[in-house]
């Protein structure tokens, strides 16, 4: 069935297809339609919807529901995600699966409700306290938002980990058709959960180990899991020329825009290729290393002063990686991105 929906609504539809049991949240622009849509659809289906008293309350409700083995989610935007960060660290430390949606807006502070990608450090690098990681998915369309919302629950269960879906005000508010259908999901058994079964009476869900050696072992076990996730789950879309004169890269809405830049450059006789990460953690470094050949310049585009570009540069030591960003809620136009790419190609030829 085809349905025309906002990106924010697609999150909820995907969650329901995935068998999400409960939503706990607090509304914030430009993510509010997620809470609105969940309130409309969850209760008639016998699922739990709670508008918490605040973001801190919401993330701790997520902790409780995840502890009992439920598929659970929440959503917010930058300032709300900041408030949830302590709880997210607890979720990661206790290895509790859940899905968290961040519809990015402009910051720091209250900023405004325009699109930006300045939550990258906050979400991809941790944000909360301690030595942890969370899986981060980055859709570039409403359809992909829908599909990644389904995938996120499977990944959360598979790896006993919080999973972020990182969108922005443009993707959250734009409307596109999605193809709604039954999808096979992989809901893992959760023998560790604190549910109503007698055999769960002795289970313990915690992130605190007072013995230093026990805590070190716990953290080392987490990072052994993170190494497996890095090996198995990193994904990226590659689009364009097989042997490029320039590689463009961006995620989310900017990654989508760069497809048009690649097409325009190819029309102008410049062979261009796009690398669009679909997972921001784990970062698809191997894809960059396979695609970007020595001497080929890389243009990294994002809606920030330079966060995503740091991981691009870490993946490509010794390569010429140029950053181009817009902020404040402004999206770059096709012409200015083509101009930046042409300029970089010319500079590479002169070198």
Q: What percent of the chain has pLDDT over 70?
A: 100
Band (33; pLDDT cuts 50, 70, 90) = very high
Q: How confident is the model at residue 123 (pLDDT cuts 50, 70, 90)?
A: very high
Q: What is the DSSP letter of 331?
A: P
Number of other CB atoms surrounding residue 82 within 10 Å: 17
Rg (CA), the chain: 21
Which residues, 6 or more positions from 97, have their beta carbon under 8 angstroms from its beta carbon?
66, 71, 153, 156, 157, 159, 160, 161, 162, 163
Q: Per-residue pLDDT tens for 249-258? A: 999 999 999 9
Phi/psi for 175 (5° steps) reads: -115, 130
For residue 1, the model assigns a pLDDT of 85
Mean pLDDT of the chain: 97
Percent of the chain beyond pLDDT 90?
93
User: Which domains, from first to last, does the chain contain?
Assistant: 2-233 (3.40.50.970), 237-350 (3.40.50.920)
For the entire predicted model, the pTM comes to: 0.97
Q: Which of 51, 57, 14 is nearest to 32 (CA)?
A: 51
CB 171 within 8 A of CB 253: yes
């Amino acid at each position: 069935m085809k349905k025309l929906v906002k990106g924010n609504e697609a999150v909820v539809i995907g969650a329901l297809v995935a068998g999400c049991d409960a939503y706990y949240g607090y509304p914030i622009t430009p993510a509010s339609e997620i809470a609105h849509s969940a309130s409309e659809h969850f209760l008639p289906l016998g699922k739990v919807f709670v508008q918490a008293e605040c973001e801190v309350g919401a993330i701790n409700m997520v902790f409780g529901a995840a502890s009992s083995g439920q598929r659970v989610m929440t959503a917010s935007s930058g300032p709300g995600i900041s408030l949830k960060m302590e709880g997210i660290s607890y979720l990661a430390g206790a290895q509790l699966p859940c899905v968290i949606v961040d519809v990015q807006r402009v910051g720091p502070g209250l900023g405004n409700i325009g699109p930006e990608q300045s939550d990258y450090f906050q979400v991809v690098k941790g944000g909360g306290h301690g030595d942890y990681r969370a899986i981060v998915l980055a859709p570039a369309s409403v359809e992909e938002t829908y599909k990644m919302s389904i995938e996120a629950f499977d990944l959360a269960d598979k790896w006993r980990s919080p999973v972020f879906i990182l969108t922005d005000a443009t993707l959250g508010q734009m409307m596109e058709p999605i193809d709604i259908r039954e999808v096979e999901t992989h809901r893992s058994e959760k023998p560790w959960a604190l549910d109503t079964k007698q055999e769960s009476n002795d289970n313990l869900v915690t992130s605190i180990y007072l013995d230093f050696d026990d805590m070190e072992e716990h953290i080392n076990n987490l990072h052994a899991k993170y190494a497996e996730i890095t090996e198995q789950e990193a994904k990226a879309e590659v689009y364009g020329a097989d042997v490029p004169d320039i590689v463009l890269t961006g995620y989310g809405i900017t990654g989508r825009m760069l497809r048009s830049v690649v097409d325009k450059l190819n029309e102008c006789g410049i062979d261009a290729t796009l690398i669009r990460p679909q997972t921001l953690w784990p970062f698809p470094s191997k894809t960059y290393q396979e695609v970007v050949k020595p001497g080929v310049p890389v243009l990294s585009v994002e809606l920030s002063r330079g966060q995503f570009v740091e991981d691009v540069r870490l993946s490509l030591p010794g390569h010429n990686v140029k950053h181009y960003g817009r902020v404040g809620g402004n999206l770059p136009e096709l012409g200015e991105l083509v101009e930046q790419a042409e300029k970089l190609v010319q500079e590479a030829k002169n070198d």
